[in-house]
Amino acid sequence: MSGNEPAREADQLEEVSLPEQSTQLIGHEEVFSKLAMQTKSGRLPGAVLLHGPRGIGKATLAFALAREILSYTGDEPIERLSEQIASGVHPNIFTLRRQPRDKGAFYSVIRVEDVRNVQQRMRQTRGRSGHRICVVDSIDDCNKNAANALLKILEEPPAETIFLLVSHRPGSLLPTIRSRCHAYALRNLSDDQVKQVLGNSGITTKQDNVEQAIRLAMGRPRRALEAIVMDGLGTLATLQNWLDDTQGQTSATHLALADDIVKAGGAEEAFARDMIIDWIANEAKAATSHGSAERIRLASATQLWDKAQNMFADADTYNLDARQTLVSIFDALRQHAHKAASLAPAG
């Protein structure tokens, strides 16, 4: 993105291509192949929900599908389609995102007027041959009124129109929206795939930084890109080391770590929060096997999840001491780690 080009999405990273500009899909080949086959056979559902963790390439997959659909239902070569989609000018593609407002800022939600604007444009005469495609990136950003307006369109969709919905939190969606979609769960990428995404991004950095960013990414290419762009690899790497050996850490270590995270602030602090929440989520997943010890571990991880989420929310809402919030959460993580270790079978 050049300095004179306005941002097209709220969380756009400087110098990183938008999902519609990425012509090579890395990962998610099975889902793409299945939907491509349905496109060729004329059996593609009218609404597809692509869900999974944030930053794994769901929107990139959505636009890859859009190119595939138009290449089969339209009459233009794929190269021309790709150029127009990347530029945001293809008349058959409708992208629903949080919209810009004054002074380069973006609205915090997708509003009902944004949905109605897309609906009105869809009612106009089609500009090109081929299906029309609406990519909602992401539907999690819709406020209540926008979600209800979108539901009405899904209930009575325009002819030859495909909706591709991206969601990071499908459980929070209206059940009626989920019921209108064919849902596909997407998984985190492998480290090799994340490395390939970084190589294709055009970002130049030291090889050591690439390897560290891949480690921090945990299968999410966007997270690796964020780590490189924000130049926060030092503190974040220290946090990752702490999380990798939570039980063996001293109080002094996480006091210093909390200081460094708060001092960095901004995007780096938000990144650190996500790492902590992901660690807790992985603990809960690891404790889903049967057995009384694992049930206790799962209950502890679930309580820890609620505590961390509530403490972060309270710190933001009431402007509480961010350092003390982190220290308290680190203490809780250590306590959980010690409890989990004590429950593990000997030998």
Q: What is the CATH number of the domain that holds 40?
A: 3.40.50.300
C-beta contacts of 244-248 below 8 A and 24+ residues apart = 246/279, 246/333, 246/334, 246/336, 246/337, 247/334, 247/337, 247/338, 247/341
154 and 299, same domain (yes or no): no
Per-residue pLDDT averaged across 237-258, rounded?
A: 90
In whole angstroms, give the CA distance from residue 216 to residue 228: 10
Task: Kindly state whether residues 155 and 301 are assigned to the same domain.
Answer: no
| Domain-ending residue, one of 185, 200, 216 | 185
Pair (90, 169) in one structural domain: yes
Across residues 145-172, what is the average pLDDT? 95
The DSSP secondary-structure symbol of 44 reads -
Handedness of CA 7, 9, 15, 18 (dihedral sign): negative
Give the per-residue pLDDT at 4: 58
How far the first Cα of the chain sits from its last, in Å, is 55
Q: Are both 63 and 175 inside the same structural domain?
A: yes
Q: In the prediction, which pLDDT does 346 show?
A: 56
Q: What is the CA radius of gyration of the chain?
A: 22
Report if residue 37 sits inside a domain.
yes
Query: Both tokens of residue 199?
Result: 């190589």
Summarised one tens digit per residue, pLDDT across range 85-125 is 999 999 999 999 999 998 779 999 999 999 999 999 988 88
Distances (CA, A) of 260 to 45, 132, 253, 329: 49, 49, 11, 15
pLDDT on residue 194 = 96
Looking at the structure, tell me whether residues 178 and 29 fall in a common domain: yes
Reply yes or no on whether the pLDDT at 2 is more than 50: no
Are the beta carbons of 329 and 242 closer than 8 angstroms?
no
Percent over 70 (pLDDT), the chain: 97
Instruction: Clarify whether residues 172 and 28 are in a common domain.
Output: yes
Beta bridge partners of 167: 51
Q: What is the pLDDT of residues 175-212, one digit of tens each?
A: 999 999 999 999 999 999 999 999 988 787 788 889 99
* 102 and 237 part of one domain: no
Shared domain for 23 and 136, answered yes or no, is: yes
List the one residue out of 199, 231, 185, 239 whose CA is nearest residue 215.
239
| Same domain for 173 and 78 | yes
Q: Which domain holds residue 33?
A: 19-185
Q: Is 158 helix (H, G, I), strand (E, B) or coil?
A: coil
Q: Are 57 and 25 in contact (CB under 8 A)?
A: yes
For the entire predicted model, the pTM comes to 0.90
**Per-residue confidence (pLDDT) for residue 124, from 0 to 100:** 86
What is the C-alpha separation between 234 and 236, in angstroms, rounded? 6
* Residue corresponding to tokens 């930053």: 55
If one counts the domains in the chain, the total is 2
- Indicate whether 164 and 263 sit together in one domain: no
What contacts 254, CB < 8 A, 6 or more positions away?
242, 326, 327, 330, 331, 334
Read off the pLDDT of residues 44-73 as tens digits, 9 standing for 90 and up: 999 999 999 999 999 999 999 999 999 999
What is the chain's mean pLDDT, rounded?
92
pLDDT at 232: 65
